[in-house]
């Protein structure tokens, strides 16, 4: 272990490099086999040269990968932190970026790796002493794993690297809204930031708390909800559940029909289970639902009234008042009243983010080309990329 750390400190240079400030939105795009970055006019500002590339963060740096190692560049494409680290990936298989100006990274090789934390200059701030490590949550705590491989345990450190919650859990997840789910002897419970159990390990499975103050829990194969005091507020009774969103949660009944409906935070069924499929409510006050009779998607409001008649073959995420919808084999966009604002013409379509631009695709997957449109449907960046991320 000491040899590994000595090697690490031997090749890390803690020089302070000047970062070119990012003054306009940039998007990661793939041309051929390599990724680079463009501006909103489609001009290439960082030449395609990376095996993979991700969005710029609040520090003005973008995480990139080359030859299985990650580093960070500024908006000119200059490496601020050379690609020499093994990535720590989240549940979506995306490498952890900086939080609290610290990023978890792996040192050494895949077969002989320890994890620590670097700052935005590449300086090692927390030594690589962990078997696994994750990013810092909003409360400044990060889950880490230590042990000899036979009796590994998870605990939580602060941004100085000191243990705030001693390693004691078989598994530990990130804090959300001040609470984290942990596993003890094959049962799941929840702790607060001091490590005290707010809900003793008693569940066969559990999910995160959300801002409504409720978390899905599973007992005996059925799902219900628990509050932050550890009280079960919705008895486990459903085949499947979603997080609460805008005061409602989609649930699937445990009977043979597996119909979808919606409950409120008291567990009351407020929209009857009539749907073959359903998705959580969105910021526009609508929820996508799919009818068994024709297999088409439509939208309901919070009273359960159908606002947009089922007519779409698929739907995407809403953004800037527009939702991608599929009609036949093509995608277009509808507004919050259900009117098609951009006619179906794309072979794939993503949502609009704050930039006011959305990536759209032409052609089948093998011959795909991605470009960007504005909210009127006008192509502002011609389709030319194998993949295209959002402007940030």
Q: Is the pLDDT of residue 267 over 70?
A: yes
Q: Is the pLDDT of residue 2 over 90?
A: no
What value does the mean pLDDT take over residues 333-358?
A: 97
The residue assigned the tokens 């000047």 is 18
Residue % of the chain over a pLDDT of 90: 88
**What's the rounded Cα separation, in Å, for the pair 321 and 388?**
21
**What's the rounded Cα separation, in Å, for the pair 145 and 364?**
43
Quote the pLDDT of residue 1: 47
Quote the pLDDT of residue 222: 98
User: Confidence class of residue 87 from pLDDT cuts 50, 70 and 90?
Assistant: very high
**Domain 244-307, second-level architecture:** Beta Barrel (2.40)
Taking only the tens place, the pLDDT of each residue in 279-331 is 999 999 999 999 988 899 999 999 999 999 999 999 999 999 999 999 999 99
Q: Is the pLDDT of residue 14 over 50?
A: no
What value does the mean pLDDT take over residues 378-388?
A: 98
Q: Is the pLDDT of residue 69 over 70?
A: yes
Q: Is the pLDDT of residue 5 over 90?
A: no
Q: Are 182 and 189 a contacting pair, CB within 8 Å?
A: yes
What are the sequence ranges of the domains in the chain? Answer: 1-124, 136-241, 244-307, 313-392
**What's the rounded Cα separation, in Å, for the pair 123 and 95?**
18
Quote the pLDDT of residue 76: 97
**What's the rounded Cα separation, in Å, for the pair 339 and 355?**
22
What is the assigned CATH class of domain 136-241? Answer: mainly beta
Residue % of the chain over a pLDDT of 70: 96
Taking only the tens place, the pLDDT of each residue in 15-29 is 557 899 899 999 999
Listed in sequence order, the DSSP H helices in 87-221 are none
Quote the pLDDT of residue 13: 46
What value does the mean pLDDT take over residues 228-249?
A: 95
Quote the pLDDT of residue 3: 52
Q: Are 130 and 144 a contacting pair, CB within 8 Å?
A: yes
User: Confidence class of residue 195 from pLDDT cuts 50, 70 and 90?
Assistant: very high
Burial class of residue 221 (count of CB atoms within 10 Å of its CB; 0-12, 13-18, 19+): exposed
Q: Is the pLDDT of residue 149 over 90?
A: no
What value does the mean pLDDT take over residues 146-171?
A: 95
Q: Do β-strands 369-373 and 379-385 pair in parallel, antiparallel, or remain unpaired?
A: antiparallel
194 CB-near residues (< 8 Å, 6+ apart): 164, 165
Quote the pLDDT of residue 182: 98
Q: Is the pLDDT of residue 155 over 60?
A: yes
Quote the pLDDT of residue 229: 87
Element (H, E) at 237: strand 232-241
* Selection from 289, 277, 351 nearest residue 318 by Cα: 351
User: Confidence class of residue 92 from pLDDT cuts 50, 70 and 90?
Assistant: confident
Residue 156's CB is within 10 A of a number of other CB atoms, namely 27
Quote the pLDDT of residue 10: 46
């Amino acid at each position: 272990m000491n040899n590994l750390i000595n090697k690490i400190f031997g090749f890390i240079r803690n020089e302070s490099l000047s970062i070119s400030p990012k003054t306009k939105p940039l998007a990661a795009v793939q041309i051929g086999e390599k990724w680079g970055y463009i501006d909103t006019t489609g001009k290439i500002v960082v030449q395609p040269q990376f095996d993979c590339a991700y969005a710029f963060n609040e520090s003005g740096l973008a995480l990139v990968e080359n030859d299985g190692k990650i580093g960070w560049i500024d908006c000119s494409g200059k490496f601020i932190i050379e690609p020499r680290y093994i990535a720590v990936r989240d549940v979506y298989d995306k490498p952890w970026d900086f939080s609290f100006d610290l990023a978890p990274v792996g040192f050494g090789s895949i077969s002989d790796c320890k994890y620590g934390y670097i700052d935005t200059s590449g300086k090692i701030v927390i030594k690589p002493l962990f078997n696994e490590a994750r990013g810092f949550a909003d409360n400044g705590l990060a889950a880490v794993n230590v042990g000899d491989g036979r009796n590994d345990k998870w605990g939580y450190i602060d941004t100085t690297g000191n243990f705030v919650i001693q390693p004691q859990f078989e598994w530990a997840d990130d804090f959300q809204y001040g609470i984290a789910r942990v596993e003890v002897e094959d049962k799941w419970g929840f702790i607060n930031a001091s490590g005290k159990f707010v809900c003793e390990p008693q569940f066969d499975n559990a999910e995160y708390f959300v801002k409504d103050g409720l978390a899905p829990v599973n007992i005996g194969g059925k799902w219900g909800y628990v509050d932050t005091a550890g009280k079960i507020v919705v008895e486990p009774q459903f085949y499947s559940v979603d997080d609460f969103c805008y005061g409602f949660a989609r649930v699937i009944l445990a009977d043979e029909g597996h119909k979808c409906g919606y409950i409120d935070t008291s567990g009351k069924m407020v929209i009857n289970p009539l749907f073959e499929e359903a998705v959580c409510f969105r910021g526009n006050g609508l929820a996508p639902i799919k009818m068994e009779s024709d297999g088409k998607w439509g939208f309901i409001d919070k009273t359960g009234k159908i606002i947009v008649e089922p007519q779409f073959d698929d739907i995407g995420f809403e953004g800037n008042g527009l939702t991608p919808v599929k009609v036949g084999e093509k995608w277009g966009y509808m507004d919050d009243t259900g009117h098609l604002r951009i006619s179906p013409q794309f072979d794939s379509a993503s949502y609009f983010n704050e930039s006011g631009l959305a990536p759209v695709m032409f052609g089948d997957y093998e011959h795909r080309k991605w470009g960007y449109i504005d909210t009127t449907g006008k192509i502002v960046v011609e389709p030319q990329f194998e993949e295209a991320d959002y402007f940030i």
